[in-house]
Homo-oligomer: A and B are copies of this chain.
Amino acid sequence: MDHIVIIGFESAGITAASAARTTNRDVKITAVERQPYAIYHPCAIPSAIEGTIKDMGDLIEPAPKMPNVEVRTSTEATGINPDDQTVELKTDGGTEELEYDSLIISTGSNAIKPPITGRDLDGVHVLKTIEDGQAIINEIGKAENAVVVGGGCIGIEAAAALNERGLNVSIVEMLPSLLPGLLDSDMVKTVGERLEDMGIKVYRGTRVEEILGDDRVKSVSIGEEELPAELVILAVGVEPEVELAKNAGIEIGETGGIKTDQHTCTSIDEIYAAGDCAESFSPITNQPILSQFATTAIRMGKVAGTNAAGGSASYLGSLNTAVTWAYGLEIAATGVTTKAAEEAGFQPVSARTRVSSKPHYYPGAKPITTKITVEPEQHKIIGGQIIGTEGASERANLLALAIQKETTIEELAKSDYCYSPPINDCIGPLVVTAETLIRKLR
């Protein structure tokens, strides 16, 4: 083991480098990144649009110094040759060949640009890179109306951000409810109501027919209605960047991501994949999934880096634990939604409660809505969804650990916890929901 090459140096790549470094102090590591900067924080771009983060430059960082790790930015990998274990590079100066003993593919993903007429008009943007974010910010002053196509996390965060900047904003979601991969339809109601209360128009089950305008976008047609828009954000998701892998003969999974086993190995020896470009699996359904979150990239990258450097690590799978926000609401979830559970053949049983975050007599108590889902045989927790003004994310993390450790709802109801009136109530939302679910299961 002399040389590890990492293609793509974002969350997965950098964590892989760090884990490889920890595993094997002697191996040389080269990371190539086609962007001119090493690290950026895409998840914070909505905060920059909103104005909370003042300078988009704050979201770009130099690569952390790690001994014997060379990070080559503005360097694109153009080919992988598994037979002679080389990677072809296109650099500013020309082309180059790099030999590897282990290769980690962490090429990430690209924003999907859906095939809608008018998608190339000026004023129509996807939202993934720093450049996308900056382009949107540059147009805020010029636009009065914005349409966000897609009501997932990024879509909602972007819509709320633009609304906070004074624009009239509409969200157009093709599916019948917002945040479809994250929340059940009964849970997402609160979110939709909050967005609408704040003045965002939400169109559900609505398809964008056409984006209209001459050079610049003027409106978005959704069939019956035409929504004025000088700014359009296409936030319909990301697709794994797998061209390099596919061309090298590496197997692509049914989800469109690079197929990996539990060691993050691809179909070709000594080639690993991690992050948005890689297919992961759900430990609940045991089915392959795409889990395109920074946290998944970090968790997979750690495994890939360890194994690429000669260590031994296995990946526990992805629970898609995620949190998003809008107007002070924290919206968090982990595990499978009811729909996903049913599709996987479970007969899930859920309970939903709405309690006060603090004791009812305490000033500033706010509601927190919690839903927990179990499978009906052993009552193991398989999903959790929480919406509140604070503490939703940490409660989702607790439920993620509960799923990982195959915790039953009865065990959760018996769990120890802390209480102090200024902070929380003497029986918290997770225990209340667990008790409710247990009664339902009787």
A residues touching B (Cβ–Cβ < 8 Å)? 11, 22, 41, 43-44, 47, 52-53, 58-59, 153, 293-296, 298-299, 316, 318-325, 330, 332-334, 359, 361-363, 390-391, 393-398, 400-405, 407, 411-412, 414-424, 426-428, 430, 439
B393 and A427 contact, CB distance less than 8 A: no
- A210 smallest CB distance to B (angstroms): 33
- A386 smallest CB distance to B (angstroms): 10
Q: Could you say which residues of chain B place their CB within 8 Å of the CB of A411?
A: 404-405
A401 and B413 alpha carbons, distance in the complex (Å):
11
B420 and A323 contact, CB distance less than 8 A: yes
Counting chain B CB atoms within 10 Å of each CB, which of A43, A293, A418, A419 scores highest? A418
A412 and B416 contact, CB distance less than 8 A: no
Please pick, from B293, B391, B420, the residue contacting A43 in the complex, using a CB distance under 8 A: B420
- A353 smallest CB distance to B (angstroms): 16
- Other A-B contacts than A397-B415, A401-B402, 9 sampled, CB-CB below 8 A, are A11-B426, A47-B422, A52-B363, A321-B416, A400-B415, A400-B417, A401-B407, A404-B415, A404-B416
Q: Considering only CB atoms, which chain B residue lies closest to A157 in the complex?
A: B420
Q: Would you mind naming 9 contact pairs between A and B with Cβ atoms under 8 Å apart?
A: A52-B422, A58-B361, A294-B426, A321-B418, A323-B423, A330-B423, A391-B393, A397-B416, A402-B405
- A359 smallest CB distance to B (angstroms): 7
B41 and A417 contact, CB distance less than 8 A: no
Q: Could you say which residues of chain B place their CB within 8 Å of the CB of A416?
A: 295-296, 299, 316, 318-321, 334, 397, 400, 403-404
Known: A22-B439, A53-B362, A405-B407. A294 touches B419 (CB 8 A): yes
A441 and B295 alpha carbons, distance in the complex (Å):
24
Q: Could you say which residues of chain B place their CB within 8 Å of the CB of A414?
A: 299, 316, 404
- A119 smallest CB distance to B (angstroms): 27
B53 and A361 contact, CB distance less than 8 A: yes
A190 and B53 alpha carbons, distance in the complex (Å):
29
- A76 smallest CB distance to B (angstroms): 25
Q: Could you say which residues of chain B place their CB within 8 Å of the CB of A421?
A: 41, 43-44, 47
A20 and B83 alpha carbons, distance in the complex (Å):
70
- A433 smallest CB distance to B (angstroms): 14
Known: A361-B53, A394-B391. A419 touches B41 (CB 8 A): no
Q: Could you say which residues of chain B place their CB within 8 Å of the CB of A422?
A: 47, 52, 325
A417 and B397 contact, CB distance less than 8 A: yes
Please pick, from B294, B296, B401, B418, the residue contacting A396 in the complex, using a CB distance under 8 A: B418
A59 and B439 contact, CB distance less than 8 A: no
Q: Could you say which residues of chain B place their CB within 8 Å of the CB of A294?
A: 419, 426
Q: Could you say which residues of chain B place their CB within 8 Å of the CB of A407?
A: 401, 405
A294 and B359 alpha carbons, distance in the complex (Å):
13
Please pick, from B318, B362, B401, the residue contacting A401 in the complex, using a CB distance under 8 A: B401
A294 and B398 alpha carbons, distance in the complex (Å):
21
Please pick, from B47, B295, B402, the residue contacting A418 in the complex, using a CB distance under 8 A: B295
B334 and A44 contact, CB distance less than 8 A: no
A295 and B404 contact, CB distance less than 8 A: no
B423 and A44 contact, CB distance less than 8 A: no
A395 and B59 alpha carbons, distance in the complex (Å):
27
Q: Could you say which residues of chain B place their CB within 8 Å of the CB of A53?
A: 361-363
Q: Could you say which residues of chain B place their CB within 8 Å of the CB of A401?
A: 398, 401-402, 405, 407, 412, 415
A393 and B361 contact, CB distance less than 8 A: no
Q: Considering only CB atoms, which chain B residue lies closest to A315 in the complex?
A: B414
- A55 smallest CB distance to B (angstroms): 9
- A207 smallest CB distance to B (angstroms): 28
A421 and B52 alpha carbons, distance in the complex (Å):
11
Q: Could you say which residues of chain B place their CB within 8 Å of the CB of A41?
A: 359, 361, 421, 426
Please pick, from B44, B52, B325, B424, the residue contacting A393 in the complex, using a CB distance under 8 A: B424
Q: Could you say which residues of chain B place their CB within 8 Å of the CB of A43?
A: 419-421, 426
